[in-house]
Amino acid sequence: MNNTVEIDNVSKRYGRIEAVRSVSFSLPAGETVALVGHNGAGKTTLIKLMLGLIHPSEGMVKILGEHPAAGEFAARRRLGYLPENVSFNAALTGRELLAFYARLKGEAPAQAMALLDRVGLAAAAGRRVGTYSKGMRQRLGLAQALIGAPALLLLDEPTTGLDPALRQSFYEIVQELRDRGATVVLSSHALTELEERTDRVVIMNRGLMVANGSLDALRRIARLPTRIRLHLTGGRPAQMPGWLESAGTWHPVNGHVIELDALPEQKMDLLRQAIHADHALEDIEVVPPTLDELYAHFLRSQGDAR
Amino acid sequence: MKSLCIIAIKEIQEGLRNRWVLATTLLLLALSLTLSFLGSAPTGNVGVRALDVVIVSLSSLSIFLLPLIALLISYDAIVGEVDRGTMLLLLSYPVARWQVLLGKFCGHLAILAFATILGYGATAAALALTGTPIGADSWMAFAQLIGSSILLGAVFVAIGYLVSAHVQDRGTAGGIAIGIWLLLVLLYDMAILGFLVVDQGRTLSADMLNVLLLLNPTDTYRMFNLAGSAGVSSLSGMAGIAEVQTLQPPVLLGMLAVWILLPLAAATTIFSRREL
Ligand SMILES: Nc1ncnc2c1ncn2[C@@H]1O[C@H](COP(=O)(O)OP(=O)(O)O)[C@@H](O)[C@H]1O
Ligand SMILES: [Mg+2]
């Protein structure tokens, strides 16, 4: 009931292009959501639909209790948006622009200035935005999205153009918002860095939603093998132990590391046997399927279904 | 209302920053001073009618220049922001699209009004300072000139928005804006004149001519200023027309208002439906 975002059977067509096809999902308050998909999958279209910048061809979108497609916009006061390729009027300074956006949201401009500090733009605040680098514009974009402690943040490819240090501080900010109870939607095609930072993953492919759930739930559904790496002391024995043969697929990585692919129900069993086996184990690594692998899996299975 | 003002103020701020305000003011100032002082030289001392002479020159200047400036400021207002991507962000804020459009309109109008009042006002002030006596009705006519010039500017800002809301790229908007300027400022009058010459008053009655002139905001503006006051009309050669003219100043002003409101309403409707 307490959903920040409700998308019900929404389609969006641009002429003959179906950018989004019959997508339904809802996002509870406080979740951090990764919206993933390759270029042209419909991520930006979904975000624009949530903002009411475009109207759905079919279906219903409800944001913070409001229908943006019907022109309701009061809820946008509690919403922050960072567009993909954000741009600003080059003639004004960072401070002037942030003050402008703060006033539009009914916030005191003076308070918003702290955000410039937060994103590391304090020193450049008095400079015209036309002189900013791509990364600085992205940071200004993030600062304006954070004005007024929004309850819902829609960040479209937020980390493109940020160097690794900035990405880190970006994710810290996201963490902070999450702790405060905001719903954060991050769209991305760089999957690995979103992993473990999200409560939910929504996977889009060519306009269709192919998966929606927590990373764990998706792993369970996908039944992708977990990789177990055994580091053996003193090199690989000539005769492999019997239990390994029954474990199914395994292959040597190098002289003293072997790797097993374990299905979810086998995993615990295999680990137990590895530990109790007589050969000397130095280390065990357990690598669950990555978001990349999950993503690839869901794209493949969608391809099979059709 | 508040959002509207915030957007208007930002538009003015931008205008100041990218020198639109400065350029427009200086241009109007320089041209009006030149026209007035060169224009009055051959006439010699025209006494109390000096300002009336200036009004005639300035209104001719305005008819060419103000629509051009107004269109240049406005044709980019929507399509340009959509193109650069700044509109996307702006519309994600709690503002209605009509507020965005009207806010921009107020901002652009303020810039034009500032330039016109300063540019033309300085000319009148210079005239008064050089010791030329100026009658009260001349001052009145001059105030009307400034007011109606701002209205003329507003008409073309509104028309520029209509173009800007409608088209998909900036180049097209620029082209259409120039086309509209050529049509309303030059071609329309030339066509009417040509027709009058050929027609010799056989089919085109005075009433029909009035209607034709009312349909073009620049002609409406011309009639308002050149035939509006007795002093000015005798100088402008409009005296003959002024006698028979049935169009009263309120009608002319009303027509200018219609020319502002209709394009603005259409621009708002089109912009509200636009997807970005
Ligand atoms: N304004 C538009 N007109 C026509 N097609 C569009 C428009 N916007 C997006 N599309 C198409 O819709 C599809 C989804 O695009 P988008 O949502 O931007 O993808 P993503 O953000 O996932 O990369 C693409 O095929 C794109 O070409
Ligand atoms: Mg995109």
Model pLDDT, residue A45? 96
pLDDT above 90 coverage of chain B, percent: 50
Residues A103-124 have pLDDT tens digits of 999 999 988 899 999 888 999 9
Using a CB–CB cutoff of 8 Å, tell me whether A134 touches chain B: no
Token pair 């709690």 in the structure block, residue: B94
Residues A142-159 have pLDDT tens digits of 999 999 889 999 999 988
| Residue contact B91–A53, C-beta within 8 A | yes
Distance, in Å, from the CA atom of A260 to the CA atom of A256, rounded to the nearest integer, reads 13
Residue with the larger pLDDT of the pair A241 and B130: B130
Distance, in Å, from the CA atom of B245 to the CA atom of B207, rounded to the nearest integer, reads 9
Q: Is the pLDDT of residue A237 over 90?
A: no
Q: Give the type of residue at B108.
A: H
Kindly state whether residues A249 and A216 are assigned to the same domain: no
Model pLDDT, residue B204? 76
| Residue contact B85–A83, C-beta within 8 A | yes
| Residue contact A73–B3, C-beta within 8 A | no
Sign (positive or negative) of CA dihedral B266, B268, B273, B274:
positive
Kindly state whether residues A14 and A42 are assigned to the same domain: yes
Output the CA A172–ligand 2 centroid distance in Å: 23
Token pair 């474990």 in the structure block, residue: A247
Instruction: Report residue A235's pLDDT band, with 50, 70 and 90 as the boundaries.
Output: low
The phi, psi pair for A298, rounded to 5°, reads -70, -35
Model pLDDT, residue A13? 95
Q: Is the pLDDT of residue A1 over 90?
A: no
Residues A175-228 have pLDDT tens digits of 888 888 999 999 987 666 777 778 899 999 999 999 898 888 888 888 888 888
Q: What Å distances lie between residue B253 and B109, B217, B218, B262, CA to CA?
A: 17, 10, 12, 14
Instruction: Report residue B86's pLDDT band, with 50, 70 and 90 as the boundaries.
Output: very high
Identify whether A303 is part of a domain. no
Instruction: Report residue B10's pLDDT band, with 50, 70 and 90 as the boundaries.
Output: very high
Kindly state whether residues A43 and A190 are assigned to the same domain: yes
Model pLDDT, residue B259? 94
- Which residues have a beta carbon within 5 Å of ligand 2, which is an ion? A 43-44, 84
Model pLDDT, residue A140? 94
Determine the residue of chain B that is closest to A81 in CA distance.
Answer: B92
Chain A residues 144-183 with CB within 8 Å of chain B: 144
A178 lines ligand 1 (CB under 6 A): no
Determine the residue of chain B that is closest to A104 in CA distance.
Answer: B3
Q: What Å distances lie between residue B154 and B102, B141, B165, B250, CA to CA?
A: 12, 20, 16, 17
Q: Is the pLDDT of residue B238 over 60?
A: no
Q: Is the pLDDT of residue B223 over 60?
A: yes
Residue with the larger pLDDT of the pair B145 and B202: B145
Are B136 and B231 in contact, with CB atoms under 8 Å apart?
A: no
List of chain B residues whose C-beta atoms are within 8 Å of the C-beta of residue A144? 89
Kindly state whether residues A101 and A240 are assigned to the same domain: no
Distance, in Å, from the CA atom of B230 to the CA atom of B240, rounded to the nearest integer, reads 11
Residue A289 has what DSSP assignment? P
Can you tell me the mean pLDDT for B182-188? 92
Q: Is the pLDDT of residue B158 over 50?
A: yes
Model pLDDT, residue B33? 86
- Count of domains for chain A: 2
Identify whether A181 is part of a domain. yes
Which of the listed residues A192, A220, A248 is the one where a domain comes to its end? A220
CA-based nearest distance A210→chain B, Å: 26
Residue A128 has what DSSP assignment? B
Can you tell me the mean pLDDT for B119-123? 89
Pocket test for ligand 1, best of A11, A12, A14 (most atoms within 8 A of CB): A14
Can you tell me the mean pLDDT for B15-22? 88
List of chain A residues whose C-beta atoms are within 8 Å of the C-beta of residue B96? 71, 73
Can you tell me the mean pLDDT for A249-277? 81
Q: Is the pLDDT of residue B268 over 90?
A: yes
Which of the ligands is closest to the CA of residue A48?
1
Chain B residues within 8 A (CB-CB) of chain A? Answer: 2-3, 6-7, 10, 13-14, 17-18, 84-86, 88-96, 272, 275-276
Identify whether A60 is part of a domain. yes
* Most confident among A78-92, A176-190, A291-305, B43-57 (mean pLDDT): A78-92
Output the CA A53–ligand 1 centroid distance in Å: 13
Identify whether A293 is part of a domain. no
| Residue contact A87–B276, C-beta within 8 A | no
Can you tell me the mean pLDDT for B28-38? 84
Are A188 and A194 in contact, with CB atoms under 8 Å apart?
A: yes
Output the CA A293–ligand 1 centroid distance in Å: 25
Model pLDDT, residue A283? 85
- Count of domains for chain B: 1
Identify whether A152 is part of a domain. yes
Model pLDDT, residue A141? 94
Identify whether A127 is part of a domain. yes
Average the pLDDT over each of A192-206, B46-60, B253-267 and give the range with the smallest value. B46-60
CA-based nearest distance B151→chain A, Å: 28
Q: What Å distances lie between residue B275 and A55, A64, A174, B166, CA to CA?
A: 8, 22, 30, 11
Model pLDDT, residue B43? 53
Model pLDDT, residue A278? 66
Instruction: Report residue B242's pLDDT band, with 50, 70 and 90 as the boundaries.
Output: very low
Kindly state whether residues A145 and A181 are assigned to the same domain: yes
- Chain B interface, mutation test: which of A13, A45, A53, A107, most B Cβ atoms within 10 Å? A53
Kindly state whether residues A133 and A230 are assigned to the same domain: no
Using a CB–CB cutoff of 8 Å, tell me whether A45 touches chain B: no
Kindly state whether residues A238 and A157 are assigned to the same domain: no
A43 lines ligand 1 (CB under 6 A): yes
A4 lines ligand 1 (CB under 6 A): no
Average the pLDDT over each of A229-233, B116-120, B268-272 and give the range with the smallest value. A229-233
Contacts of A226 (CB under 8 A, 6+ apart): A261, A262, A263, A264, A267, A286, A287, A288, A289
Q: Is the pLDDT of residue B236 over 50?
A: yes
List of chain B residues whose C-beta atoms are within 8 Å of the C-beta of residue A91? 14, 17-18
Identify whether A304 is part of a domain. no
Q: How is residue B94 written in tokens?
A: 């709690």
A39 lines ligand 1 (CB under 6 A): yes
Kindly state whether residues A195 and A239 are assigned to the same domain: no
List of chain B residues whose C-beta atoms are within 8 Å of the C-beta of residue A105? 93-94
Residues A59-117 have pLDDT tens digits of 999 999 899 888 788 889 999 999 998 999 999 999 999 999 999 999 999 888 999 99
Can you tell me the mean pLDDT for A165-181? 86
Q: Is the pLDDT of residue B274 over 70?
A: yes
Domain span at residue A75 reads: 3-220
- CA A287, A289, A291, A295: dihedral to nearest 10 degrees? 160
Atom of ligand 1 nearest to the CA of A42: 17
Kindly state whether residues A191 and A255 are assigned to the same domain: no
Domain span at residue B146 reads: 2-273
Residue nearest to atom 2 of ligand 1 (CA): A14
| Residue contact A92–B92, C-beta within 8 A | no
Identify whether A99 is part of a domain. yes
Residue with the larger pLDDT of the pair A266 and A29: A29
A44 lines ligand 1 (CB under 6 A): yes
Kindly state whether residues A242 and A210 are assigned to the same domain: no
Model pLDDT, residue B228? 60
Kindly state whether residues A207 and A237 are assigned to the same domain: no
Model pLDDT, residue B213? 85
Q: How is residue B72 written in tokens?
A: 């240049």
Model pLDDT, residue A220? 82
Kindly state whether residues A77 and A197 are assigned to the same domain: yes
Instruction: Report residue A51's pLDDT band, with 50, 70 and 90 as the boundaries.
Output: very high
